[in-house]
Each structure stands twice: as structure tokens, then as C-alpha cells.
Amino acid sequence: MKKFTILFCILVFLYFHTSAQGFKIDLMGEKQAAMGHTGSGYVFDASTIYFNPGGLSFLKSSNVTAGASVLIPSTEFVENGTNTAYYTQPQIFTPFSVYANFRINSRFAAGIGTYTPYGSGLTWPDNWSGRFILHKIQLQTFYIQPTISYKITDHIGIGIGAIYALGNVQLSKDIPVRNQQSNYPRGTLTGSGIGFGYSAGLFVKPNRSFSFGLAYHSSIKLQVNNGNANFTGVPLSLQTEIQNTTFNTSIPLPGDLSLGVGFKINPRWLVTIDADEVFWQVYDTLAFEYKNQTTLLQNTRTPKNYMNSPGFRAGLQFSPDSIIDIRAGAFFENTPVQKGYLAPDFPDNNRFGLTAGIGIHATRKLDIDISFLFLDVLNRKDSDNADNFSGTYKSLIFAPGAGISYSF
């Protein structure tokens, strides 16, 4: 019973851990995705609503931009002391973004965007060695951001946006108690929440060739009420203790600060560079409460002690003519997960990514953009001290994407 209590608490912990953490998806604009996800120091289109609200007033016309990617993650795990490798089942996720900006006058611009900054999923095989910690997880978040921007002078713009966040998640694991059919029961947690935050930016363009910007997204707490904990296949002898119930919690999603520059070497060559910091440190403790508690299920507070995570990005665009833009980029990100906290729901490590893409100016008003991202999460041998589960993880992510941008 004590082992079940611990494992169930870990299950609920992992549910909220992934809601708060998950993968930070750097796919909020197709042009920027192809250039190492740079963009806080250069204005491309209406996606600057996300990348730097201060640059919105520098767009010369109203614009609608939309894009989507096909995110394909894969993870391998080898438990310490064994040679058996387990692989996550193939899954596909589709992060997307839609933005629209409108020029009010020569100084003011306004817009609205929706994008998916956090989310991914893992499904481990039924017979893998961590089945009592995690079987499956899926996470989705949606941010909706109305934004306004004001050009203080011909060279300086500021902007601010309100963020309404929605999130939902599903997680399941097996319970280490055999039922009458000699099968393991399974617990599944589902929940959704909302939260509020803001984004702000400063954009400076001293001349036609050079620009730089500073952009900030606040942290957001998703308030989850009446999440569902459901159990199937529970033995008759445990059904009074392992019962379906609901729970409440508050989940912190980290904010970030980005400093970027854009430099047009000449009409054909553009260089962009960004440095950012993601404030994962807000995720230090996880607390949740249950509506119906039993001797096996009590309210819990769990320390996580994540650390802030810096990242460095660079992008390059070559325009051989007035129709084609060829793009490439690279980036490096530090993991926020400290030693002793590596769990199978988010087997993270320092990351290195390469990007590429092409833009086509189909007409004077219509752009078509294609991007591709490859992300290598470096090998990591570590453990999760909460359940004494350790091994070596290796993850790869591929993400082709496409989008359109229309000016009017």
C-alpha cells in the first residue's frame, strides 16, 4: 500500500509537471523557425505579435500570417544495469500559429495572435520497465494574445499584449497491483486550466540596415479546477481506497526574455541573432489537493527546483532575386532539469538544433514559407530521485512546417 501511495503521488506529480514543463516549442512563425527561431530583433510579418510586440508598428501594411508544423519526436531509454532499449511509440503533433495585424495610422498598430508555445507527448510501450511511473502523456497549450504597438519616433517602437492561456493534458500509468485477471490496473489523469499573462517589447531601427529589440513574455499560472483521476481494472479489495476523484492545482508556465538583432549586410543577405533566458525557476514547488482523500491519497507538496535556461540562436537569409528567400539557422539551449530530477515524462538535456527553409514571394502581397527543424537532445544518464528510476535517455525531434502571409 505504501508503494502504491508513493507511485500514485508521482503520477499526479508527473501530470502537473508536464503541464508546466513539457517541451517548449520554438515554432511560432515559419520564417523565424527556418532561421533558428530568431525574430525579436527583426520584423518579418504579423508574427512579430509573438516575437516582439514593439515591432508591430513598423509593418508597412496590415497582414495576416498563419503556419503549422508537423512535430515528430522519438525517445530511447536504456535502464541502468541492463542492455534493453525501449522506444516511444511513433506520434505526430501539429503546433500552429495564426496572427493578424492592422495599421490604425502611421504610429499605431494593433493585432491578435494565437499560438502553441508548450506541448508534446510520449507513449512508452506497455511492457517497458517504467510502466508504473508513466505510460502515456499528451500536453497542449494555447495562447491568445491581443496586442497594441506605438511608434514613439520613426526609429523606436513599443508594444504590449495581454495573454489568455488555455491548457489540457492526459497522462496514464499502470498500478503495481494485479487484479483478478492478472492484469495491472491503469490510472488516467485528465485536466484543463486557464491563466493570464502579458507580453511587452521594445523595437529600435536606427537605420535601414540594422535593428534590435527586447521582448518579454510573463510567466503564467494555469488554474486547474476539477481535474479527473480515473482508474480501470482495480481489484475489488482496493476499490474503496482507489476511487475516481477530482483535484485542483495551480501550474506555473515560465516566462522568457529575449534580446535580438537584425543586420542586412546588403539587399541579398540578412543576419539575425537572438539570446534568451527562459525563467523555469518559477517552477520550484508543486502543490495539489484532492476533493476526496483516502488513507492512500493525501494532499501533496513536491519540490522541483528547476533552474533558468539560457539559449543562443542565429539565422541567415539569402535572397538571390525578388522571388526567393533561402534561410538557415542554428541554436543551442540549456536544460532546466537539474541532476536527480530527470523523469520519463520529460527526458530533457541540453539541446542543439539546426533549421532551414525557403520563402516564395508568390505575388506582391502573398508569401509562402516552408521550414524544417532538427533538434538533437543530447544523451543523458541520470535518475529521478522521487522514484529511484535511472537510465540513459536519447531524444530526437523533426519538424517540417509551412505557412502563408498575406498583406493588404
Given a cut of 70, whether residue 358 has pLDDT beyond it is yes
pTM of this structure: 0.86
Report d(CA 8, CA 173) in Å as an integer.
9
pLDDT tens-digit series, residues 83-138 = 899 999 888 888 999 999 999 999 999 999 999 987 668 899 988 998 998 899 88
pLDDT tens-digit series, residues 25-64 = 778 999 999 999 999 999 999 999 999 999 999 999 999 9
Sign of CA dihedral 106, 108, 112, 118: positive
pLDDT tens-digit series, residues 139-170 = 788 999 999 999 999 999 999 999 999 988 78
Given a cut of 60, whether residue 13 has pLDDT beyond it is no
Are 343 and 17 contacting, i.e. CB atoms less than 8 angstroms apart?
A: yes
Q: Rounded to the nearest 5 degrees, what angle is found at the Cα of 241, between the Cα atoms of 235 and 247?
A: 120
The radius of gyration of the chain from alpha carbons, rounded to an integer in Å, stands at 23
Q: Residue 14's pLDDT is what?
A: 35
Domains, the chain, with CATH or none: 2-407 (2.40.160.60)
210: which 3 cell numbers?
A: 540594422
Confidence band for 407, pLDDT divided at 50, 70 and 90:
very high
Q: Residue 9's pLDDT is what?
A: 40
Given a cut of 80, whether residue 387 has pLDDT beyond it is no
Give the torsion through C-alpha atoms of 139, 12, 192, 64, to 10 deg.
-30
pLDDT tens-digit series, residues 228-274 = 888 888 888 888 888 888 888 877 889 999 999 999 999 999 999 99
Q: Residue 156's pLDDT is what?
A: 97
Are 103 and 146 contacting, i.e. CB atoms less than 8 angstroms apart?
A: no
What distances in angstroms separate CA 69 from CA 4, 95, 115, 313, 370, one per listed residue? 40, 6, 12, 20, 9
Report d(CA 142, CA 148) in Å as an integer.
20
For all residues of the chain together, what is the average pLDDT?
A: 88
